[in-house]
Amino acid sequence: MTVHLDDLTEAQRQDVYAAVRILDEAEQPVPRHLVRAVTDQTLRGALERTLAASGRVLLETPPGFTSGYDDTTRDALTRRGIGVLLDADRAVLTLVLLWSVAIPRALGTIPAEAHWTVGEPVDPKMLIARSKLPDTSARAAITRLRAAGILGWGTNRWLVPGPAFHRLTARVQEELFQDLVLLAEPDGPLAESIKRRRATRTGGALT
């Protein structure tokens, strides 16, 4: 049976509203035991429908629960240029993901199934040197990415993927992994497989 907010008691509705605020505002995923609305099936259904009304979904991660935009809303925002990173920010973020996540996974030092927030810290000085951006541009990009939670501090204040990666849906995480494969080994067999799948999905042709 579908339960709507109007079917709940006032106390139950407040639990749902509180859960929405906590999940949307907390920097890190919230442990299950701290959010009653995710453990009670009746409240959880109402929570998911409340999030869906604003284009968001409930996401479960190893540390706990958070919320993020659903794939349809994300695509619509991207087409409108909303939330799209600046070129300098994209360049710096790409290097962090390559050195912190992609390369360690390829070497086996990080499990392939590990979450995107699991990465080896990257020295900001090395990153700036390799970015081919002016120092001021690279440092400004790091500051913006840190402020948005897209990058975080690891040991020795080196850079790692930030908590914002917990807010990505499974589809977005898979697309991100594919993008890194295409960047790191564009002519490899896995990259060719990704290109074929994407061409089939979009009705395009391989180039």
Q: How confident is the model at residue 6 (pLDDT cuts 50, 70, 90)?
A: confident
CA distance 56 to 67: 7
Both tokens of 100, joined, read: 């912190």
Same domain, 102 and 138: yes
124-to-86, 92, 121 alpha-carbon distances in Å: 19, 10, 9
Digit-coded pLDDT (tens) for 146-183:
999 999 998 888 999 999 999 999 999 888 888 888 88
Same domain, 68 and 105: no
Same domain, 51 and 97: no
Same domain, 91 and 66: no
| Range(s) of the domain holding residue 28 | 5-76
Q: Is the residue at 65 inside a domain?
A: yes
- Final residue of a structural domain among 46, 76, 106: 76
CATH number, domain of 40, equals 1.10.10.10
Per the DSSP assignment, residues forming a β-bridge with 60 are 65
Smallest Cα–Cα separation from 120: which of 106, 130, 139? 106
CA distance 57 to 89: 26
Same domain, 15 and 113: no
Both tokens of 162, joined, read: 């930030």
Same domain, 70 and 97: no
Q: Is the residue at 82 inside a domain?
A: no
Same domain, 103 and 189: yes
Q: Is the residue at 129 inside a domain?
A: yes
Q: Is the residue at 153 inside a domain?
A: yes
Domain count, the chain: 2
Same domain, 197 and 98: yes
CA 109 to centroid of chain Cα atoms: 22
Element (H, E) at 135: helix 135-147
- Final residue of a structural domain among 76, 107, 125: 76
Element (H, E) at 14: helix 10-25
Across 58-67, 109-118, 180-189, which has the greatest mean pLDDT?
58-67
Same domain, 106 and 175: yes
Q: Is the residue at 146 inside a domain?
A: yes
Q: Is the residue at 112 inside a domain?
A: yes
Cβ neighbours around 200 below 10 Å, total? 10
Same domain, 39 and 116: no
Q: Is the residue at 207 inside a domain?
A: no
Digit-coded pLDDT (tens) for 107-137:
889 887 888 888 999 999 988 888 888 999 9
Cβ neighbours around 117 below 10 Å, total? 20
Same domain, 92 and 55: no
Same domain, 54 and 130: no
Q: Is the residue at 119 inside a domain?
A: yes
- Final residue of a structural domain among 76, 108, 132: 76
Across 13-27, 96-110, 166-180, 189-203, which has the greatest mean pLDDT?
13-27
